[in-house]
């Protein structure tokens, strides 16, 4: 059977139809990790002191006598005599810390960035010694970024990349920074030695950066005061008290609840809760220099829906954490209710950084992800790709709206513990799995979820009982090690959280 003639014949072309041009940027990209996100190497002992690729090393670091001692800042290092410890690369395997919990590797983030540039030579990974002051590392970042941009502009792939971009402009810098890395970037661009670096920067994407600090840092310094705690938590407290970098993460916003008033932490408060007064004063001076500064072309990815400590009370040297924050009117006055009491707002966050601290402006990309997963979750990686390729930004697909994942940071093998899903009152459509990290044939199990009511009581003088419907699951892991809990709601953006299983003996003293 013959076909009827097509009413619209194809036009005659005297040229070959070109193929698709690559949708890659001509810019030079710098990836800046967060605290504990760089592998550290002790040059004197010839050994890695943070970031080995096995959970056995993690267990020894947190539970064996002297496991974290090489990470303590020495008097010589506090005086500026550096070089004993060097940062060799970005974290390539999962790590763990009490309070801060899971530290995910940066391999997926770097791979995502590399797919959006014209050549791998356009990507600079910037590991740094996260124990040191942010200001010290920011100066190093500024120098490394300038050298990287000059190398990239001289690279043959740079000239080729410019030809398929709309403006054909010369490549500039783009920073992709997670957590503390965003503070380094802010300091490097606004308070660093290279006054032209900001002008040579096309944009900065931050992922969960605590621009105003995190109440979790105060909890770390105070852990164990007044109550016995497992050994890993005491180890982190003792380490943190020596680290300028940790003091740079202390909250700078009004967060100290004193009943009818709310104020900022002072250096005396930090010393009272277990920190170092001198380091706290240096951190305060650093943040004072940054106050009011902005980032060029900034887009902030912020975590939402995760239960997050946002304020605290300090009573006889012991911190009491609260999952609410306070707000101020335009004139700076604290918002109060009809009785004159400060109004409380639960803005949640990523489990470590509350939402309002993670943004310098009101323009944000909100994602329901935990802090560590903001550098690994698919929704966050989609935001990175969109930012680098300079498409019109419509926002990445969101993780399941309103879902939060609550997991203990430390558990005991063979003992039941609970995973809680906040923002859901029905387990239908939710799948939860727990699997051992770094063991191809290791433990993996699905967790049966059920609905429950989760009551908790506000602090004395508060509104009384407040509860919510949650979905929960009971979990037991068979052996010590690092495990990843994954909650999949079917939208291709699962929530994840790392948890360390340590033997019962880990709560012994050194």
The DSSP annotation for 61-99 comes to HHHSTTTTGGGSPPHHHHTT---SEEEEEE--S-EEETT
Question: Residues 411-440: what's their mean pLDDT?
Answer: 89
Structure confidence at residue 118 as a pLDDT band (50, 70, 90): very high
Cα–Cα distance, 423 to 243 (Å, whole number)? 36
Amino acid 223: pLDDT:
86
Contacts of 440 (CB under 8 A, 6+ apart): none
294-317 pLDDT tens trace: 999 999 999 999 999 999 999 999
pLDDT above 50: residue 509: no
CA distances to 72, 467, 475 from 432, rounded to whole Å, are 37, 23, 10
Q: What is the DSSP letter of 391?
A: -
**Strand duo 481-488 + 465-475: pairing:** unpaired
CB-CB contact of 486 with 435 (8 Å): yes
Please identify which residue in the block is written with the tokens 């999952």: 323
Amino acid 228: pLDDT:
74
Amino acid 461: pLDDT:
37
Phi/psi of residue 295, nearest 5 degrees = -105, 140
Q: How many residues does the chain have?
A: 510
Q: Rounded to the nearest 5 degrees, what angle is found at the Cα of 43, between the Cα atoms of 39 and 47? A: 60
pLDDT above 60: residue 10: no
Q: What is the percent of the chain where pLDDT is above 70?
A: 88
Please identify which residue in the block is written with the tokens 């009490």: 98
pLDDT above 60: residue 462: no
Amino acid 362: pLDDT:
82
Tell me which of 9 and 148 has the higher pLDDT.
148
Question: Residues 26-33: what's their mean pLDDT?
Answer: 97
Amino acid 151: pLDDT:
98
Structure confidence at residue 8 as a pLDDT band (50, 70, 90): low
For residue 99, which of 195, 218, 3 has the smallest C-alpha distance?
218
**Strand duo 481-488 + 431-436: pairing:** antiparallel
Cα–Cα distance, 446 to 429 (Å, whole number)? 14
Element (H, E) at 29: strand 28-32
Please identify which residue in the block is written with the tokens 């943040």: 287
Amino acid 100: pLDDT:
83
Cα–Cα distance, 508 to 92 (Å, whole number)? 31
**Strand duo 123-125 + 28-32: pairing:** parallel
CB-CB contact of 402 with 423 (8 Å): yes
For residue 292, which of 212, 188, 194 has the smallest C-alpha distance?
212
273-295 pLDDT tens trace: 999 999 999 999 999 999 999 99
Amino acid 4: pLDDT:
55
Q: Which residues pair with 212 in a beta bridge?
A: none
Q: Where are the beta strands (DSSP E) in 91-248?
A: 95-97, 101-103, 123-125, 173-178, 201-207
Element (H, E) at 30: strand 28-32
Cα–Cα distance, 445 to 483 (Å, whole number)? 11
Amino acid 463: pLDDT:
39
Q: Rounded to the nearest 5 degrees, what angle is found at the Cα of 385, between the Cα atoms of 381 and 389? A: 170
Cα–Cα distance, 369 to 493 (Å, whole number)? 9
Cα–Cα distance, 217 to 103 (Å, whole number)? 15
Best CATH choice for the domain 22-401 from the list 3.30.450, 3.40.50, 1.10.3470, 1.20.140:
3.40.50
Cα–Cα distance, 475 to 479 (Å, whole number)? 13
Cα–Cα distance, 340 to 362 (Å, whole number)? 28
Q: Rounded to the nearest 5 degrees, what angle is found at the Cα of 31, between the Cα atoms of 393 and 390? A: 20
Tell me which of 296 and 16 has the higher pLDDT.
296
CB-CB contact of 61 with 48 (8 Å): no
Give the other-Cβ count within 10 Å of 123's Cβ. 19
Counting Cα atoms < 13 Å in the Cβ hemisphere of 106 gives: 28
Amino acid 389: pLDDT:
86
Cα–Cα distance, 314 to 269 (Å, whole number)? 8
Cα–Cα distance, 55 to 61 (Å, whole number)? 10
pLDDT above 90: residue 66: no
Produce one character per residue of 402-418: b if its CB has 16 or more CB atoms within 10 Å, e if not: ebbbbbbbbbbeeeebb
Both tokens assigned to 230: 């497992």
Find the DSSP H helices in 335-490: 378-389
Element (H, E) at 156: helix 156-162
């Amino acid at each position: 059977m013959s076909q009827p003639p097509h009413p619209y014949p194809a036009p005659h072309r005297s040229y070959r139809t070109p193929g698709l041009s690559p949708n890659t940027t001509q810019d030079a990209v710098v990836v800046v990790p967060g605290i504990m996100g760089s592998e550290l190497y002790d040059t004197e002992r010839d050994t890695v002191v943070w970031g080995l690729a096995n959970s056995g090393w993690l267990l020894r670091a947190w539970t064996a006598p002297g496991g974290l001692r090489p990470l303590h800042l020495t008097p010589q290092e506090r005086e500026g005599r550096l070089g004993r410890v060097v940062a060799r690369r970005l974290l390539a395997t999962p790590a763990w810390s009490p309070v801060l919990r899971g530290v995910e590797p940066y391999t997926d983030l770097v791979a995502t960035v590399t797919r959006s540039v014209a050549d791998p030579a356009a990507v600079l990974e910037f590991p740094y010694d996260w124990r040191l002051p942010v200001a010290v590392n920011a100066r190093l970042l500024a120098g490394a970024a300038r050298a990287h941009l000059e190398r990239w502009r001289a690279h043959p792939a740079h000239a080729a990349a410019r030809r398929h971009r709309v403006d054909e402009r010369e490549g500039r810098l783009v920073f992709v920074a997670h957590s503390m890395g965003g503070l380094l970037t802010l300091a490097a661009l606004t308070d660093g030695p290279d006054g032209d670096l900001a002008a040579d920067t096309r944009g900065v994407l931050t992922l969960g950066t605590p621009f105003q600090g995190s109440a979790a840092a105060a909890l770390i310094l105070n852990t164990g005061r007044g109550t016995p705690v497992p050994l890993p938590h005491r180890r982190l407290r003792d380490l943190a008290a020596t680290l300028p970098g940790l003091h740079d993460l202390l909250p700078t916003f009004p967060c100290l609840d004193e009943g009818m008033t709310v104020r900022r932490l002072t250096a005396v408060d930090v010393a009272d809760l277990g920190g170092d007064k001198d380091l706290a004063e240096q951190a305060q001076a650093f943040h004072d220099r940054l106050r009011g500064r902005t980032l060029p072309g900034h887009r902030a990815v912020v975590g939402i829906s995760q239960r997050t400590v946002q304020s605290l009370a300090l009573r006889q040297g012991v911190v009491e954490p609260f999952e609410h924050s306070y707000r101020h009117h335009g004139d700076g006055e604290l918002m109060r209710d009809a009785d004159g009491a400060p109004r409380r707002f639960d803005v949640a966050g990523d489990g470590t950084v509350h939402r309002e601290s993670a943004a310098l402006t009101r323009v944000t990309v909100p994602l329901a992800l935990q802090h560590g997963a903001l550098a690994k979750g698919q929704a966050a990686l989609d935001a990175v790709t969109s930012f680098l390729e300079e498409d019109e930004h419509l926002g990445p697909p969101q993780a399941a709206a309103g879902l939060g994942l609550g997991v203990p940071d430390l558990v005991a093998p063979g003992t039941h513990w609970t995973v809680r899903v906040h923002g859901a009152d029905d387990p239908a459509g939710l799948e939860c799995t727990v699997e051992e990290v770094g063991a191809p044939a290791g433990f993996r199990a699905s967790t049966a979820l059920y609905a429950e009511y989760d009551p908790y009581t506000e602090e004395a003088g508060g509104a009384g009982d407040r509860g919510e419907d949650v979905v929960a699951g009971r979990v037991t892991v068979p052996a010590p090690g690092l495990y990843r809990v994954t909650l999949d709601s079917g939208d291709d953006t699962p929530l994840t959280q790392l948890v360390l299983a340590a033997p019962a003996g880990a709560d012994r003293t050194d």
